[in-house]
Amino acid sequence: MGLIIDDLAEIIRKHQKTLPCVEPLDVDDKFEKVYKETEDGKLNIHNEMYSCTGLRKVHLEIATLGPLDILHCIWYPDPEFNCQSLVQILLLITIMLVLLSRISLQ
């Protein structure tokens, strides 16, 4: 995996641990790690999923396809959670990620 992808994934993981009541979600073994030969090269995918107060699912996917490194992260809001609180939490986390990614990439 590329250094930038690894660094960003670690920053995301670090901040996921600070989310309120964060817990890992069960991921079916066939989706947690995926490996496939394609005509574009070897495809490797690793999925991590969590849930916490305000977010029904936090999905971090790291993949490689030949020389391409991919980081895909989606935070799915819980529709029953107070949206104003969720927006405040996500805004703070986004600001922290931007600041930390700038620091770690320097």
CATH number of domain containing 34: 3.40.1500.20
Domain of 75 in residue numbering reads as 3-105
pLDDT, block means (10 residues), the chain with 106 residues? 82 88 92 92 94 90 91 86 68 70 56
Number of domains in the chain: 1
Quick one: pLDDT at residue 7? Answer: 87
* CB-based contact 41:67 (threshold 8 Å): yes
List the Cα angle 35/6/78 in 5-degree steps.
Answer: 80
SS3 81: coil
User: In sequence order, what are the beta bridge partners of 60?
Assistant: 48, 73
List the Cα angle 43/76/11 in 5-degree steps.
Answer: 65
